[in-house]
Structure 1
Amino acid sequence: MATGQTDKAGDVAEVSEKMAENIKKLEELSERLVKVLSNKRTVPGALQGPGGDLYMKAATAWMAEMMSNPSKLLEHQISYWGKSLTHYVEAQHKLARGDFSAPEDRSGDDRRFSDPMWAEHPFFNYLKQQYLFNAHAMTEAVDKLEGLDPADRKRLNYFSQQIVDMMSPTNFLGTNPEALSRAVETEGQSLVDGLENLVRDLEANDGELVVTLADKDAFEVGGNLATTPGKVVYRNRMFELIQYTPTTEQVHKTPLLIFPPWINKFYILDLKDKNSLVKWIVDQGYTLFVVSWVNPDESYADVSLGDYIEEGFLEAIAQVKEITGEPKINAVGYCIAGTTLSLTLSLLEKRGEKPINSATFFTTLTDFSDRGEVGVFLEDDFVDGIEREVERTGVLDSFYMSRTFSFLRSNDLIYQPAIRSYMMGQTPPAFDLLYWNGDGTNLPGKMAVEYLRGLCQDDKFATEGIEILGETLKIGEVKVPLMAIACETDHIANWKSSFRGIQKMGSRSKTFVLSESGHIAGIINPPSKKKYGHYVNGDWSGTPEDWQAAAEFHEGSWWGRWGEWLSKKSGKKIAARAPGDDGREILGDAPGTYVKGHKK
């Protein structure tokens, strides 16, 4: 008895001590929370959401419809209230009979509601079902609203969906059974840990809520990321040029130069050995060069799109030619770098210069007539806000680009990570791709506005031409043999728009490949994974829909198909070239220094 009482006393003392520690920690975290929120960064209103004119248009359209066709609105309301009432009565009948099981769940699969409690517990099931009724009613009301032009309708659909996603019961502690269960299991420790995670993220982002997606202590660029051996062989204010060490005795004569996007960092192409496109290319027997862009600060405010072409693309091409002694090279452009590679090719055609033997475009937009999902952020109110912001700061901070792309996949990149981190108190996962996703870069102010106005909004390259470096550049002037890879579920570079752009190019030799999956996973798709397949079709005569309907589907990665195409454009085999063979000074080891520069 005495021993049992001693054990109980010890348990009580341990619980009391832990509670005291947590109370002290909560007080400290609360002080930090108040401090960081009081010094929160000022985000321009135009970059917080659409202007009031969009909601005014929606309200006007709704009022007009109510006056002209009231029966339509009444039918919608009756349907909604009918479903809600039926749901309520069903639940009440079961309770009245003493049946505490949930009604039959016909809502289908939704990853947000994967916890069994959503289907089995009557309270949580009721919340879930009613939320889904509300969500359907709201989206249906917007879908059927007449009197809006297509652009306004698309934006209204998008922003109303954001409200729907935000209001999910999974996003609130009191209505999330998984978070509540974990709080009980951990005796509240998960909530303390969650608050600590929240305060940490706010402090790291000047009071703005940006959820940490990956464990930042688990990775090091040049340590366990971007480890393919190579050397920095050239550097200017815009980029470092990396030449990779060969792994084969012989290589193709024509070198390959990759231009990654400067919206992010190049090591998405070289995360780890098992999924590294860089390593795979080197192992196929190519002399590979990759551009690593600088992460600009306010001193780059006046850097233009023309500067990226002249000091970036043209200079890198010239350096690769000089290092290898070859008159022509093969080039790859990814995302915005693919767009800029096409501008560069048009400029070279204008100048009568032909240093590019072939071009490959990864998820590249050159025709912006349909801007896809990202188009909701490309209307005047947002772009005006960006223009004012870069006039003030000199750069478009990586925060804005990261947040924009995250909201395009808000459930996956905002709400679910926030639930795990803040409600469940979990440490972010050690996931290399998500680590890269959070390692953003700034954009020079002038270049950002030129790109958004001249290309994204006005679509000048695909229409009347865009003025850059004293020339009017047009899409039809891209005449080199080319291959384009687009991704079926890409939410940034819509594959149909990519197809239309390639269709308008003047090349007589074009190959288009449509990979399964999205903007990143569809490209970083190593053959060893045997994961995502791809479509091919040589007929360019119809619409993107016609092309896909007649396309052949092939299991597995497109890398091998591209490799076969590229080898035919790369000449005979010669003795492998190593960095420094041309006698120039080696500036450092890959991945270089620019890639390690964080936002300023």
Structure 2
Amino acid sequence: MSNKQPESPDSAEIFERITYLSGKAQQMLLDFWTRQEAPAALTGDPFGMTSLWPAMTNAALSDPLRLAQMQFDYMQQAAGLWQGFLSGDVPEGAEGGAVRDKRFGSEAWASAPAFQFIKQAYLLTSRYIMESVGALEGLSPREQEKARFFTQQFVDALSPSNYALTNPDVLKATIDSGGENLLRGTEHLLDDLQRGRMKMTDESAFEVGVNVAATPGKVIFENRLFQLIQYAPATETAYEVPVLIFPPWINKFYILDLTPEKSFIRWCTQQGLTVYVVSWKNADETLADVELDHYVREGFLTAIDKAIENTAAPAVHVIGYCVAGTSLAAVLALMEERGDGAKVRSATFFTAQVDFEDAGDLKLFVEDSENASFYGELSEGRGYLDGRYMATTFNMLRANDLIWNYVVNNYLLGKDYFPFDLLFWNSDATNVPAKWHAAYLRDLYRDNLLAEPGGISIDGTAIDLSTVKTPTYIQAGKEDHIAPLRSVWKLTRHFAGPIRFTLAGSGHIAGVVNPPAVEKYQHWTLEGTLPETLAEFQDAATEHKGSWWPDWLNWITPLSGEQKPAPQPGEGKLDALEDAPGRYVKERIA
């Protein structure tokens, strides 16, 4: 047997192969686009950029000396970088924060002089661009924030890691596979374009009700807005007062019921709590009329009454996650006004805001042209907003992690999708009623009316958050990019009852979904009366390793009454309609 190794293809063969595959990919793209029509919502100027760019230009030219000095500084640093490249000694200072930048994690970015130069030239240029935007004068605060955010989007998009010819990993994969990675990537791209969203994980690995949203229970009530799920007990006895969870209507509820080891819902049943969850309807034309009043009357208040009726409990504990927490705060104020506050024994808020003054980058998507015209076009007369547009908005808040990372892996490297339950949930977008969504953005994000006494009326009743006396547990995420920490903290300033505030490590999802068994992240608590400011809380708070869930359990169980035989779903006042997780959560956009 011969030991002779097969010859590697020469550069001409590689070039010929890649040229062939590139042509095939281009033909695939051409065939796809000839069958498509541009959505009306993607035309025009939905984010007001037509007026912003001239304003930025005028602001830059208003101080020509400063602009000239910054350009001079940039040219000096760029020249030094170029000289270092020619001499084989690229200055280390040019990298800035690249050591922690996952985009440039490959060894080739540091070991190959050409890629080291490309990386550092990009970092230098992007830093100069962002500093230039930050130095603009004459813009309104809102224009300044929009300029910063959308320039950052532009800068991130231009990263050399996002392009085949300037990414060493992509070049290596292209040579090793003869370009097959690019062909697979094109197939992934076309598949994503067809479904209208970027695929992030192997979605065939998960099935709702089988290996996610699989905690056993029954649907015991439903109306046009939601199904109410009661979960089977995991203990022989349970506390008298049940827990009722309101998830965000912009997402599926099973973020709190992923795989069994990550499920907050399953964990609660194991602690002797009776758990109810609202599963919101995936909006369609039948919900075109729905606004805040409907969500409160037909949603929150109905669910509270049904949970109390079914369990024959004196009250319920309620939990509101994100936007559902915002609405829950309004519901509690309404119940106080109507004398029904005793129906709620305690309220827990996961990363929820009621005062939107410091709501972060999401506020940049809210103004008249965007709120009325843009969302009206997105609903295209159907009465609901396609959840895929909203998912893209959230992804833009962390574009490098949630957009460009997948562009590289899926489209350039052509990698197979890795199964990840959290990304499966993230891809399971939810439609929302267009009228309610537009009003939410206008009245809360833009006009901040919920923070004003009497600013919001529900079903004809003006509400005031300062009247809420319900014992409250507030959880915030230290690195939350959707509900920023300093914005969530403001909830502590609006309620009149006893409040416990817990700061969790990580962000909007991982900060909440952090089961104790994994011993991950940390949380901070402070005993006694809360201080006036977030800074004072952070200075005085005690750090604890791992999940905050046990802290919440220790807080809620003394408020939960005595233990009784655990109620079985379908054996209370309300009959079982179907097995959990029910039909509503299984309605998928694409």
TM-score above 0.5, yes or no:
yes
2:178 corresponds to 1:187: yes
2:515 is matched with 526
2:436 corresponds to 1:447: yes
- Letter of the 1:388 partner, please give it: G
Tell me, in whole angstroms, the C-alpha distance in 1 between the residues paired with 2:584 and 2:299: 14
Written as runs of structure 1 = structure 2, the 5 A alignment for 1:252-291 is 252-291=239-278
2:419 is matched with 430
Task: Indicate how the Cα distance of structure 1 residues 176 and 567 shifts in structure 2: closer, same or farther if over 3 A, else same.
Answer: same
Provide the identity percentage. Answer: 39
2:377 corresponds to 1:378: no
Task: Indicate how the Cα distance of structure 1 residues 20 and 545 shifts in structure 2: closer, same or farther if over 3 A, else same.
Answer: closer
Among 275, 281, 295, the residue aligned to 1:294: 281
1:12 is matched with none
Which deviations, in whole Å up to 9, do the C-alpha atoms of 1:330-365 show, x marking residues without a partner?
111101111111111111111111311110011000
2:210 corresponds to 1:219: no
- Decide whether the 8 Å contact of 1:391 with 1:445 is kept in 2: no
Q: Shift in Å at residue 504 of structure 1?
A: 1.4
- Letter of the 2:75 partner, please give it: W
Task: Indicate how the Cα distance of structure 1 residues 54 and 19 shifts in structure 2: closer, same or farther if over 3 A, else same.
Answer: closer
Query: Partner of 1:512: helix, strand, or coil?
Result: strand
1:591 is matched with 581
- Decide whether the 8 Å contact of 2:46 with 2:374 is kept in 1: no
Among 149, 157, 160, the residue aligned to 2:140: 149
Tell me, in whole angstroms, the C-alpha distance in 1 between the residues paired with 2:22 and 2:392: 33
- Decide whether the 8 Å contact of 1:358 with 1:482 is kept in 2: yes
Tell me, in whole angstroms, the C-alpha distance in 2 between the residues paired with 1:76 and 1:51: 25
2:349 corresponds to 1:361: yes
Tell me, in whole angstroms, the C-alpha distance in 2 between the residues paired with 1:163 and 1:21: 31
Tell me, in whole angstroms, the C-alpha distance in 2 between the residues paired with 1:551 and 1:591: 39
Among 193, 196, 219, the residue aligned to 1:202: 193
When the two chains are superposed, the root-mean-square deviation of aligned CA atoms in Å is: 2.5
Written as runs of structure 1 = structure 2, the 5 A alignment for 1:34-183 is 34-36=33-35, 38-45=36-43, 48-66=46-64, 70=65, 72-94=66-88, 104=92, 107=95, 108-109=98-99, 110-183=101-174
Q: Shift in Å at residue 456 of structure 1?
A: 1.1
Tell me, in whole angstroms, the C-alpha distance in 2 between the residues paired with 1:574 and 1:403: 46
Task: Indicate how the Cα distance of structure 1 residues 336 and 23 shifts in structure 2: closer, same or farther if over 3 A, else same.
Answer: closer
Query: Partner of 1:392: helix, strand, or coil?
Result: coil
Among 452, 459, 462, the residue aligned to 2:451: 462
- Letter of the 1:487 partner, please give it: G
Q: Shift in Å at residue 521 of structure 1?
A: 0.3
- Decide whether the 8 Å contact of 2:200 with 2:417 is kept in 1: yes
Tell me, in whole angstroms, the C-alpha distance in 2 between the residues paired with 1:85 and 1:320: 69
Among 399, 409, 414, the residue aligned to 2:403: 414
2:547 corresponds to 1:557: yes
Tell me, in whole angstroms, the C-alpha distance in 2 between the residues paired with 1:27 and 1:54: 34
1:235 is matched with 222
- Letter of the 1:254 partner, please give it: V
1:479 is matched with 469
With 392-401 and 538-547 compared, the bigger mean Cα shift is at: 538-547
- Decide whether the 8 Å contact of 1:46 with 1:382 is kept in 2: no
Query: Partner of 1:393: helix, strand, or coil?
Result: coil
- Decide whether the 8 Å contact of 2:60 with 2:67 is kept in 1: no
- Letter of the 2:282 partner, please give it: N
Query: Partner of 1:333: helix, strand, or coil?
Result: strand
1:98 is matched with none
- Decide whether the 8 Å contact of 1:118 with 1:125 is kept in 2: yes
- Letter of the 2:61 partner, please give it: M
2:390 corresponds to 1:388: no
- Decide whether the 8 Å contact of 1:345 with 1:478 is kept in 2: yes
Q: Shift in Å at residue 26 of structure 1?
A: 4.4
Which deviations, in whole Å up to 9, do the C-alpha atoms of 1:461-517 show, x marking residues without a partner?
11142022101112212221111101111111112111112211122x111111111
Tell me, in whole angstroms, the C-alpha distance in 2 between the residues paired with 1:552 and 1:497: 21
Q: Shift in Å at residue 22 of structure 1?
A: 6.2
Q: TM-score, normalised by structure 2?
A: 0.93
Tell me, in whole angstroms, the C-alpha distance in 1 between the residues paired with 2:457 and 2:297: 14
Q: How many residues align?
A: 578
- Letter of the 1:201 partner, please give it: D
With 104-113 and 464-473 compared, the bigger mean Cα shift is at: 104-113
Q: Shift in Å at residue 24 of structure 1?
A: 9.9
- Decide whether the 8 Å contact of 2:387 with 2:430 is kept in 1: yes
Q: Shift in Å at residue 56 of structure 1?
A: 2.4
Written as runs of structure 1 = structure 2, the 5 A alignment for 1:530-549 is 530-537=519-526, 538-549=528-539
Which deviations, in whole Å up to 9, do the C-alpha atoms of 1:552-573 show, x marking residues without a partner?
2111111000001110110111
Tell me, in whole angstroms, the C-alpha distance in 2 between the residues paired with 1:362 and 1:140: 35
- Decide whether the 8 Å contact of 1:232 with 1:240 is kept in 2: yes
Tell me, in whole angstroms, the C-alpha distance in 1 between the residues paired with 2:469 and 2:403: 42
- Decide whether the 8 Å contact of 1:262 with 1:441 is kept in 2: yes
Query: Partner of 2:198: helix, strand, or coil?
Result: coil
Task: Indicate how the Cα distance of structure 1 residues 430 and 134 shifts in structure 2: closer, same or farther if over 3 A, else same.
Answer: same
Among 390, 394, 400, the residue aligned to 1:401: 390
Tell me, in whole angstroms, the C-alpha distance in 2 between the residues paired with 1:378 and 1:546: 31
Among 315, 339, 342, the residue aligned to 1:328: 315
Tell me, in whole angstroms, the C-alpha distance in 2 between the residues paired with 1:204 and 1:387: 20
Among 504, 517, 520, the residue aligned to 2:494: 504
Q: Shift in Å at residue 25 of structure 1?
A: 6.3
Q: Shift in Å at residue 104 of structure 1?
A: 5.0
- Decide whether the 8 Å contact of 1:244 with 1:287 is kept in 2: yes
Query: Partner of 1:289: helix, strand, or coil?
Result: strand
Which deviations, in whole Å up to 9, do the C-alpha atoms of 1:433-480 show, x marking residues without a partner?
011001011110111111111111111111142022101112212221
Structure 1 unaligned segments of length 5 or more: list them. Answer: 9-14, 95-100
Task: Indicate how the Cα distance of structure 1 residues 228 and 4 shifts in structure 2: closer, same or farther if over 3 A, else same.
Answer: closer
Query: Partner of 1:233: helix, strand, or coil?
Result: strand
Q: Shift in Å at residue 251 of structure 1?
A: 0.3
Tell me, in whole angstroms, the C-alpha distance in 1 between the residues paired with 2:30 and 2:139: 47
Query: Partner of 1:568: helix, strand, or coil?
Result: helix
- Decide whether the 8 Å contact of 1:242 with 1:591 is kept in 2: yes
- Decide whether the 8 Å contact of 1:363 with 1:519 is kept in 2: yes
- Decide whether the 8 Å contact of 1:46 with 1:384 is kept in 2: no
Task: Indicate how the Cα distance of structure 1 residues 349 and 116 shifts in structure 2: closer, same or farther if over 3 A, else same.
Answer: same
Q: Shift in Å at residue 539 of structure 1?
A: 4.0
- Decide whether the 8 Å contact of 1:349 with 1:478 is kept in 2: yes
- Letter of the 1:438 partner, please give it: S
Tell me, in whole angstroms, the C-alpha distance in 2 between the residues paired with 1:103 and 1:502: 48
Query: Partner of 2:215: helix, strand, or coil?
Result: coil
1:344 is matched with 331
- Decide whether the 8 Å contact of 1:329 with 1:355 is kept in 2: yes
Tell me, in whole angstroms, the C-alpha distance in 2 between the residues paired with 1:455 and 1:391: 24
Tell me, in whole angstroms, the C-alpha distance in 2 between the residues paired with 1:510 and 1:77: 52
- Letter of the 2:33 partner, please give it: V
- Letter of the 1:337 partner, please give it: A
Q: Shift in Å at residue 45 of structure 1?
A: 4.2
Q: Shift in Å at residue 246 of structure 1?
A: 0.5
Q: Shift in Å at residue 386 of structure 1?
A: 3.4
Tell me, in whole angstroms, the C-alpha distance in 1 between the residues paired with 2:550 and 2:115: 49
- Decide whether the 8 Å contact of 1:32 with 1:199 is kept in 2: no
Q: Shift in Å at residue 298 of structure 1?
A: 2.0
